[in-house]
Amino acid sequence: MSTSVGELVDLCRASGLRRTKALEVLLGTLLQADRPMTLAKLEKSRRLASQCDKATIYRLLHRLTDAGIVRRLGLHERAAYFALVLPDQHRDYLICTGCGSIAPVDAPCPVHDLEEEIRTKTGFQNLYHELEFFGTCPKCT
C-alpha cells in the first residue's frame, strides 16, 4: 500500500499544521524522491520554487519534523537530509562520515522483531525506531 499526498496532508492537519499549497508541494516532492533530500536540493525543485522561498521550506521542514511526519538525517556538522516517515514503510539508512552522503539500506530491518518483543513486554504503544549506519562510502575510501 502506498501513501498519497492527501493522506499526508490529513496527518499534517491532525498534527495542527495548516493545509497550504506549499505544504502539499513539499510533501509531494518528498514522496516522489527515491532518497532523503537536503534543503538546498528541495529549494532547487521547480515545483517548490514556484510556491515558496527557502525560508518557507525550512520552516515547513522543521514543523513536519516536530510533528513526526518528516525525519531529519545526517551528521550534525553537515547539511541535514529530510525524508518522510511513511506509515506503510520503514527505511534504514547508510550515512558516509566522509562526504555525508545518505543511501537507504537495501536489506530487511533486523530490529522489527525486537521492537515487537519490547512492545509486548512493556505495553508501549506507537513504538517505532530509527536505524542509521555510519561508515565510509566507496567513493571516499
Q: 87-99: per-residue pLDDT in tens?
A: 767 888 999 999 8
- Average pLDDT value for the chain: 89
**3-class state of residue 71 by DSSP:** strand
pLDDT at position 3 is 78
Task: Using the 3D structure, point to which of 71, 88, 105 is the last residue of a domain.
Answer: 88
Write out the three cell numbers for 111.
530490529
Say whether both 58 and 126 belong to one domain: no
Residue 133, strand partner residues: 94
Going by C-alpha positions, the residue among 99, 104, 103 that lies closest to residue 139 is 99
Q: Which residue has the higher pLDDT, 104 or 128?
A: 104
Say whether both 107 and 95 belong to one domain: yes
Say whether both 105 and 40 belong to one domain: no
Say whether both 97 and 73 belong to one domain: no
Q: Is residue 1 very low, low, confident or very high in pLDDT (cuts 50, 70, 90)? A: very low
Inter-residue contact 64 to 17 (CB < 8 Å): yes
- Check which CATH number belongs to the domain holding 99 and give it: 3.30.1490.190
Say whether both 25 and 80 belong to one domain: yes
Q: Is residue 117 very low, low, confident or very high in pLDDT (cuts 50, 70, 90)? A: very high
Say whether both 37 and 72 belong to one domain: yes
Say whether both 23 and 65 belong to one domain: yes
Say whether both 83 and 20 belong to one domain: yes
Least confidently predicted of 62-66, 69-73, 123-127:
123-127
Q: 37-52: per-residue pLDDT in tens?
A: 999 999 998 888 888 9
Domain hosting 50: range is 1-88
Least confidently predicted of 15-24, 60-69, 111-120, 124-133:
124-133
pTM over 0.85: no
Total domains in the chain come to 2
Inter-residue contact 55 to 61 (CB < 8 Å): no
Say whether both 80 and 17 belong to one domain: yes
